[in-house]
């Protein structure tokens, strides 16, 4: 878990040109009251969800204000403006003097802003926002990571390559589609009140760039008009069919992202190429276990079970009680024995209750690493966060989909049916990455 410890921050020679240009752009954007604000762009989309939605699922900073707070903490450099000003910078706006302080503060941070805010990137972000795509923030995030990686690592490769390739493909196809739609609307070739027609236009985007079954796309096309105008007229079976289509659309991006990330990790960290070509990854197996095994109550439960199985394989047979012994508990509390408290805590985690904070999860994984005599770094931490994030997503879909004709039990069965397709996502994407690597060599 050394990757989670504080690292010395490299000193980067700062070029303030990009920040000076940004300052000028912000000043020119002031409203009639000389207030400046940065809008947090977020478009509702299943095909390319907002990056903030994904960050929130992982319990990472999901708003621009939270990122400011993170920079203050990470670089131990306070931004000397009020909490209200931080909030209003992304809401009602702040004055020119406050904006000057923010830009001045950014100049003190060891970040390569000349690489993070290039003209090419800004043009892509502006184009994305103009057509209503979430791609802009994804472009910025990937560029930020790549620039940081180049400045801090001697290696040219990292585990996020396949994930970034997938996301960039989604970004580019989303922008292309939305640009075409806007052009068609301007030419009066699209009736914006025609719900069924609007959905029909989206079908090629999904059929050409996703693993959503054609049957799910056709179901939406068949019932789109009735769903928009007279949802109560749908039969129970029609409602269940639509709920299944909705789950396919809602979960597709995340199943793609998770499997691409996991494949990247296995290529980067794995030591047995033949094993990598045949076996599913741990997160994939954890989600599959939740979808197909009634004894596994959550995706995080599946992940904990995977950790138990790996520990059994590397050390010796490991029970859930043994796994629980790596949880840190306050021994000062009266009552049950330490072992019982740990086991009770693990049972809660497996059932999605009293989930661990980041600090508690890190300690648990560090203790497990010490027992196995390994160093899993940030990888297992993020794998657990992904599993817990999927549980949040599942709960959200349950809440949104359940209704008069479709109760939560019905929806959970449907969700598990959709999640059970994750091996198909994994193996298809694995083949794509293997073919790509073979073509390069």
pLDDT in tens, 174-195: 999 999 988 887 777 777 667 6
Token pair, residue 58, equals: 């992982």
Residues contacting residue 170 through CB under 8 Å, at least 6 positions apart: 47, 48, 135, 138, 209, 253
Contact assessment for residue 409 and residue 392, using Cβ atoms and an 8 Å cutoff: no
> What Cα–Cα distance (Å) separates residue 265 from each residue in 61, 115, 161, 405, 435?
23, 26, 9, 42, 17
Residues contacting residue 8 through CB under 8 Å, at least 6 positions apart: none
In a 3-state reduction of DSSP, which class is residue 403? strand
Q: What DSSP state is assigned to residue 94?
A: B
pLDDT at 7: 39
Rounded Cα–Cα distance for residues 304 and 290 (Å): 11
Instruction: Quickly list DSSP for 43-100.
Output: ---SSS--HHHHHHHTTS--SHHHHHHHHHHHTT----S-HHHHHHTTTT-B-HHHHH
pLDDT higher at 239 or 299: 299
Report residue 296's pLDDT band, with 50, 70 and 90 as the boundaries.
very high
Rounded Cα–Cα distance for residues 261 and 247 (Å): 21
In a 3-state reduction of DSSP, which class is residue 412? helix
Rounded Cα–Cα distance for residues 68 and 106 (Å): 10
Mean of pLDDT values over 28-55: 88
pLDDT at 51: 93
Rounded Cα–Cα distance for residues 280 and 262 (Å): 9
Rounded Cα–Cα distance for residues 136 and 212 (Å): 24
pLDDT at 11: 45
Rounded Cα–Cα distance for residues 329 and 321 (Å): 14
Mean of pLDDT values over 14-42: 81
Domain segments of the chain: what residues? 2-167, 267-424
Report residue 154's pLDDT band, with 50, 70 and 90 as the boundaries.
low
Q: What DSSP state is assigned to residue 420?
A: T
Report residue 228's pLDDT band, with 50, 70 and 90 as the boundaries.
low
Token pair, residue 329, equals: 């508990």
3-state secondary structure 140-186: HHHHHHHHHHHHHCCCCCCCCHHHHHHHHHHHHHHHHHHHHHHHHHH
Per mean pLDDT, which range of 66-80, 106-120, 219-233 is the poorest? 219-233
Residue 225: count of CB within 10 angstroms of its CB: 14
pLDDT at 247: 94
Rounded Cα–Cα distance for residues 271 and 36 (Å): 52
pLDDT higher at 271 or 66: 66
Q: Check whether 248 has a pLDDT greater than 80.
A: yes
Report residue 10's pLDDT band, with 50, 70 and 90 as the boundaries.
very low
pLDDT at 1: 36
pLDDT higher at 403 or 248: 248
pLDDT at 156: 74
pLDDT at 292: 98
Mean of pLDDT values over 193-199: 72
pLDDT at 367: 96
Report residue 153's pLDDT band, with 50, 70 and 90 as the boundaries.
low
pLDDT higher at 232 or 87: 87
Mean of pLDDT values over 352-365: 95
* Residue matched to tokens 């806007």: 182
Mean of pLDDT values over 76-82: 89
Rounded Cα–Cα distance for residues 409 and 287 (Å): 18
Q: What DSSP state is assigned to residue 50?
A: -
Report residue 158's pLDDT band, with 50, 70 and 90 as the boundaries.
confident
Per mean pLDDT, which range of 205-209, 262-266, 268-272, 341-345 is the poorest? 268-272
Q: Check whether 143 has a pLDDT greater than 70.
A: yes
pLDDT higher at 216 or 20: 216
Taking only the tens place, the pLDDT of each residue in 362-401 is 999 999 999 999 988 789 999 999 999 999 999 999 888 7
Rounded Cα–Cα distance for residues 385 and 303 (Å): 10
Per mean pLDDT, which range of 25-34, 49-58, 128-137, 410-419 is the poorest? 25-34
Q: Check whether 327 has a pLDDT greater than 90.
A: yes
Q: Check whether 150 has a pLDDT greater than 60.
A: yes
Instruction: Report the predicted TM-score, pTM, of the whole model to 2 decimal places.
Output: 0.89
Q: Check whether 271 has a pLDDT greater than 80.
A: no
pLDDT at 192: 66
- Among the listed residues 82, 46, 43, the one whose alpha carbon sits nearest the alpha carbon of residue 65: 82
Q: Average pLDDT of the chain? A: 87
Q: Check whether 412 has a pLDDT greater than 80.
A: yes
Q: Check whether 12 has a pLDDT greater than 60.
A: no
Cα 275 vs. chain centroid, distance in angstroms?
A: 27
pLDDT higher at 13 or 145: 145
Rounded Cα–Cα distance for residues 100 and 96 (Å): 6
Per mean pLDDT, which range of 113-117, 151-155, 377-381 is the poorest? 151-155
Helix then strand then coil, in percent of the chain rounded to 5, is: 70, 0, 30
């Amino acid at each position: 878990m050394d990757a989670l410890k504080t690292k010395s921050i490299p000193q980067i020679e700062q070029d303030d040109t990009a920040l000076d240009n940004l300052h000028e752009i912000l000043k020119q954007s002031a409203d009639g009251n000389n207030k400046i604000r940065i809008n947090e762009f977020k478009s509702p989309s299943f095909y390319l969800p907002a990056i903030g939605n994904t960050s929130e699922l992982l319990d990472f900073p999901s708003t621009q204000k939270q990122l400011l707070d993170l920079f203050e903490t990470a670089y131990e450099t306070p931004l000397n403006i009020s909490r209200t000003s931080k909030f209003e910078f992304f809401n009602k706006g702040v004055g020119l003097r406050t904006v000057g302080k923010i830009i001045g503060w950014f100049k003190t941070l060891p970040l390569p802003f000349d690489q993070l805010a290039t003209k090419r990137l800004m043009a892509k972000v502006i184009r994305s926002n103009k057509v209503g795509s979430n791609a802009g923030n994804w472009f910025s995030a990937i560029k930020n990571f790549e620039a940081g990686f180049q400045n801090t690592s001697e290696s040219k490769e990292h585990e996020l390559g396949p994930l970034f390739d997938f996301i960039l493909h989604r970004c580019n196809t989303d922008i292309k589609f939305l640009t075409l739609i806007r052009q068609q609307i301007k030419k009066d070739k699209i009736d914006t009140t025609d719900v069924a027609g609007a959905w029909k236009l989206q079908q090629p985007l999904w059929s050409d760039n996703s693993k959503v079954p054609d049957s799910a796309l056709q179901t939406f096309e068949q019932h789109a008009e009735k769903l928009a105008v007279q949802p109560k007229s749908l039969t129970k079976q029609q409602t269940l069919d639509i709920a299944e289509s909705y789950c396919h659309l809602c979960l597709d991006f995340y199943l793609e992202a998770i499997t691409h990330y996991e494949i990247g990790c296995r290529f980067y960290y794995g030591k047995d190429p033949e094993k990598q070509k045949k076996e599913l990854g741990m997160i994939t197996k954890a989600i599959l276990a939740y979808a197909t095994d009634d004894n596994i109550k959550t995706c995080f439960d599946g992940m904990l079970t995977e950790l138990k199985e790996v520990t059994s394989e590397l050390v010796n047979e490991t029970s859930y009680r043994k796994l629980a012994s790596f949880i840190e508990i306050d021994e000062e509390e009266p009552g049950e024995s330490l072992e019982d408290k740990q086991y009770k805590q693990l049972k809660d985690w497996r059932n999605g209750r009293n989930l661990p904070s980041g600090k508690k999860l890190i300690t648990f994984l560090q203790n497990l690493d010490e027992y196995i005599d390994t160093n899993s770094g940030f990888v297992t931490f993020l794998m657990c966060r992904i599993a817990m994030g999927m549980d949040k997503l599942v709960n959200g879909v349950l809440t949104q989909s359940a209704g008069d004709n479709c109760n939560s039990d019905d929806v959970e069965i449907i969700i598990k049916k959709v999640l059970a397709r994750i091996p198909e996502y994994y193996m298809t994407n694995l083949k794509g990455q293997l073919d790509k690597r073979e073509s390069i060599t």
